[in-house]
Amino acid sequence: MLSTEQNERLTRVGKGTPMGTMMRRYWHPIALSAELPEKDGAPIVRKLLGERFVLFRDTAGRVGVMDEACLHRGASMALGRVEEGGIRCIYHGWKFSVDGDLLDTPNHPDPRVKERLKAATYPVREQSGLIWTYIGPKEKEPPFRRYAFDEAPPERRRANRVNVRANYLQVWEAGTDSSHVGILHSNVTRPGWLKAEGAQVDEFAIKDMVSDAWDDMAPKLELENTGFGYHYVGIRKIGDGQQVNVRLTPVFMPHGRMIMHPNFYATVFDVPMDDENTATFNVDASDVKELVLEERMQRSGLTDPRFYKDHTFIATEETGFYQDRAAMREKRSWSGFHGLTQEDSVVCLSMGPVFDRSNEHLVAADAGVVRLRQRLAMSLELSEGGQDPMGLQYEDMTKVKGFDRNLPASESWKLYARDHTELYPEEKF
Ligand code: FES
Ligand SMILES: [Fe+2]
Domains defined along the chain, listed by start: 27-140 (2.102.10.10), 146-423 (3.90.380.10)
Segment 19-61, tens digit of pLDDT: 999 999 999 999 999 999 999 999 999 999 999 999 999 999 9
Task: Give the span between the Cα atoms of 37 and 53, in whole angstroms.
Answer: 18
Compute the Cα dihedral for 323, 327, 331, 333 and give only its sign: negative
- Ligand 1 centroid distance, CA of 37 (Å): 26
Pairing state between β 146-147 and 277-285:
unpaired
pLDDT (mean) for 193-198: 66
The Cα–Cα gap between 400 and 228 comes to 9
Buried/exposed 351-379: b ≥16 CB within 10 Å, e otherwise: bebbbebeeeeeeebbbbbbbbbebbbbb
The span from the CA of 47 to the CA of 308, in Å, is 18
User: Pick from 66, 253, 34: which is nearest to 154 by CA?
Assistant: 34
Q: Whose CA is nearest to atom 4 of ligand 1?
A: 92
Nearest ligand to the CA atom of 348: 2
pLDDT the model gives residue 207: 65
Complex ipTM tops 0.85: yes
Q: What is the pLDDT of residues 376-428, one digit of tens each?
A: 999 999 999 999 999 999 999 999 999 999 999 999 999 999 999 999 999 88
**Ligand 1 atom 1: residue of nearest CA:** 73
The tens digit of pLDDT for each residue in 69-122 reads 999 999 999 999 999 999 999 999 999 999 999 999 999 999 999 999 999 999
Please give the mean pLDDT across all residues of the chain: 94
349 phi, psi to nearest 5 deg:
-60, -40
Helix (H) or strand (E) segment spanning residue 312? strand 312-313
d(CA 76, ligand 1 centre) in Å = 8
- In 37-135, the DSSP E strands lie at 44-48, 51-57, 63-67, 81-82, 87-88, 95-96, 102-104, 124-127, 130-133
Q: Could you tell me if the CB of 73 is within 6 A of ligand 1?
A: yes
Consecutive H or E run containing 172: helix 168-174
